[in-house]
Amino acid sequence: MINGSRIPVTVGVTGHRDVRDEDREILKEAVKKELGALQAKCPESPVVVVTALAEGADQLCAGAALEMGLDLISVLPMPMPEYAKDFEGPAFEELMRLADASSQVFVSPEPEAYDERFGSRRDWRYRQAGLYIGKHSHVMIALWDGSEGDDCGCGTASIVRAVRNGSFGGSGPRKICPDDRTVIQITTPRAGSGTELPAGEVKYHGDAAAFDSMLRDTETFNEDALKRGAASGDGAEEDGDPVTAGLRRLYRAADSISMGNAVIHRRFLARLSAAATMLTMAFLLYDEAEWHWMIILCGILIIVLFAINRLSRKRRFRARYLEYRVFAEALRVQIHLRTAGIGCEVSEIMPWNLQLAMPWIRNAVSACMTGPAQTERKSVRESWVIDQRDYHRRAAVKSGQKLRKNDRIINIALVMTLLIYAFALVYELAWGDALGGQPAFSPEANCIIRMYIKIAMGTAAAGTLFAGSYYGKQALPNVTDDHRKMAALYEEAAEEIGRLGEKEELLISLAEDELTENANWYAYQSKNEPDLGI
């Protein structure tokens, strides 16, 4: 569940139950050190620890998190009365204490039908809790001796194996995911094993660079949310489901920040276009009019051009606009699926290119889905299908208008260039010496007239080039076409729902189509980045 409108950095926990008493303080300090390192990397992101509160490692990590003042979420493999039967004495008392101190306590959903290959039903439930924690965590801390697990076990080694392989099961179709899951192993000898291991030694399993990049992107979003005042969650409508309410707050933040960056990006495009056109004019005045002092203005304008371009790239206004737009749309799809009571998560159906380009988005949506399963199912025909159909219809019209306006700007610039050319042609034929006749003006006057014609034509041509290249970089034809296709898709979906009802398969298919359209939009927009090489 989301606190305010920031993405929580969720730390899942798995580990052995039979921790040796003499290793407890060493292990707790190692856990605190790793949690502290995450806090240092992400000072603006709430760090949340997710655990099943099992005896041993789980309870040790939960206690360390509470001592550090971190939020604790407890995901139980079964209802508390049944779960408590596995505890006695101090372990039972610690279970009750930690559960009482948790911000959330809920039973992990059952995404798969029970299979005897996983052992007893009780073992299977333990496995489901471990997989749920792994799936909804940015990183797993494993108090683990390093032994190999199997694909059907419920112990620590098997959960680590599943996390590293991305094998979480789920209600949606199995997707291939990038190998960017990280497990922080804190070496933990097991009581009575007779194995000598260095307790508290830390090993990282996974791509450390990819993990750090994901944390940076998550932290950057949270920083932007705080800077723009979008992280408080004030004014958010109440929702009976706390997870959905949190997703809505985060969607509003992502949508607001994305649009803000889009406005700034367009301003930079306008400045680049104006500066480039002015540079062309200044150079022509220097070259043709022999206004030699113009070379200084040319230098200034070149510096201005590179400064604008460098600042835009450094501040990543365009990149943040695109990424946060993708994030917002993924959240919106997730909200609709959850509202419909469908257990499928966006992380299960997100297109490969988005997962590879922006893994932080997949992990962010998944982390924010941490919470009890949605029990109430509401109709989404009006709020999702009809609303999106109407939105895409309006957007297609609006994009078409923008495209026509863009074409008018380019056409006006072209007409100006043609008029200047026509004047030059008439001048040369009627008053110049293009046909070998006697010129109507003196050689000095002809030089001056031709100079201004060259300056005017060059400036108009440059304006046409920059207007077409910069303002046309928004890929408006593709956007317009996509809106029309999506409007047709939702129209068909509305008819299907009218005939068959809001079937889960239909809504998941619709979600996949929408995420694919979002991926296509990102692909062609990201390839149309303006540069100074035009």
Digit-coded pLDDT (tens) for 64-95: 999 999 999 999 999 999 999 999 999 999 99
> Cβ distance 108 to 40 under 8 Å?
no
Whether 356 shows a pLDDT value over 90: the answer reads no
Mean pLDDT value across residues 262-281: 79
β-strand pairing of 47-51 with 9-15: parallel
Residue 130: predicted pLDDT: 94
Is the model more confident about 280 or about 225?
Answer: 225
> Does residue 531 sit within a domain?
no
Q: Considering only 253-262, 319-328, 458-467, 482-491, which range has the smallest mean pLDDT?
A: 458-467
User: Are 262 and 191 part of one and the same domain?
Assistant: no
DSSP helix/strand/coil, 204: strand
- Which of 197, 227, 257 is where one domain is finished? 227
CATH code at position 83: 3.40.50.450
Same domain, 195 and 53: yes
**Is residue 235 predicted with pLDDT exceeding 50?**
no
Domain boundary among 196, 227, 258: 227
Q: What is the mean pLDDT of residues 411-424?
A: 75
| Claim to verify: residue 474 and residue 384 sit in the same structural domain | yes
Q: Could you give the number of structural domains in the chain?
A: 2
522 pLDDT above the threshold of 80: yes
**How much of the chain exceeds pLDDT 90, in percent?**
49
Contacts with 133 (C-beta within 8 Å, 6 or more apart), sequence order: 12, 13, 14, 50, 51, 52, 75, 108, 140, 159
| Cα 466 to Cα 278: distance, rounded to the nearest angstrom | 11
Instruction: Answer yes or no: do 93 and 165 share one domain.
Output: yes
Q: What is the pTM of this model?
A: 0.84
pLDDT of residue 307: 84
Sheet strands (E) in 217-375: none
- Same domain (yes/no): 220, 282: no
The answer to whether position 532 is within a domain reads no
Res 3: pLDDT: 55
Q: Which two tokens stand for residue 95?
A: 């279970």
Domain holding 265, by residue range, is 242-526
- Greater confidence (286 vs 35) lies with 35
Q: What is the predicted pLDDT for the residue at 114?
A: 76
Lowest mean pLDDT among 183-197, 341-355, 390-404, 480-494: 390-404
The domain boundary residue, chosen from 192, 227, 262:
227
Mean pLDDT of 33-59: 96
How would you label 68-80 residue by residue, b for 16+ Cβ within 10 Å and e otherwise? eebbbbbbbbbee
Over 60: is that where the pLDDT of 237 sits? no
| Per-residue pLDDT, 435 | 61
Task: Determine the Cα–Cα distance for residues 329 and 323; give it in Å rounded to an integer.
Answer: 10
Whether the per-residue pLDDT at 177 is higher than 70: the answer is no
* Residue 13: its H or E element: strand 9-15
Indicate the average pLDDT of the chain: 84
- Summarize pLDDT for 108-167 with one digit per residue, the tens: 987 667 777 777 889 999 999 999 999 999 999 999 999 988 888 888 999 998 888 877
Query: Does residue 155 sit in the same domain as residue 79?
Result: yes
pLDDT digits (tens, 9 = 90+) for 187-198: 999 988 777 889
pLDDT at 232 over 60: no
Task: Say if residue 249 is in the same domain as residue 222.
Answer: no
Assess whether 169 and 281 both reside in one domain.
no
Residue 215 has pLDDT above 90, yes or no: yes
Is the Cα torsion angle 508, 365, 235, 224 positive or negative in sign?
A: negative
Do residues 153 and 14 both lie within one domain? yes
Strands (E), 108-206: 139-144, 182-187, 202-205
Pairing of strands 104-107, 139-144: unpaired
Give the list of residues 6+ apart from residue 326 with CB closer than 8 angstroms, or none: 354, 358, 361, 518, 519, 522
Using the predicted structure, report yes or no on whether residue 404 has a pLDDT greater than 80. Answer: no
147 and 288 fall within a common domain: no
State whether 24 and 155 are in the same domain: yes
* C-alpha torsion 401→402→407→412, nearest 10: 100
User: How far apart are alpha carbons 238 and 515 in whole angstroms?
Assistant: 27
Reply yes or no on whether the pLDDT at 533 is more than 60: no
- Higher-confidence position of 190 and 308: 190
Amino acid at 240: G
In the prediction, which pLDDT does 425 show? 77
Tell me whether residue 233 is in a domain.
no
Q: Poorest-confidence range of 169-183, 288-302, 389-403, 430-444? A: 169-183
How far is the C-alpha of 396 from the C-alpha of 517, rounded, in Å? Answer: 14
In this structure, of 179-183, 358-362, 383-387, 456-460, the range with the lowest mean pLDDT score is 456-460
Q: Report whether 413 contacts 463 (CB < 8 A).
A: yes
- Rounded CA-CA distance 75/515 in Å is 29
Are 70 and 95 part of one and the same domain? yes
11-15, 332-336, 454-458: least confidently modelled range? 454-458
pLDDT grade, residue 220 (50/70/90)?
A: very high
Q: Give the range among 19-28, 140-149, 425-434, 492-501 with minimum mean pLDDT.
A: 425-434
Cα–Cα dist 454/450, whole Å? 6
Residue 187: per-residue pLDDT: 95
Worst-scoring range by mean pLDDT, 49-58, 177-186, 400-409? 400-409
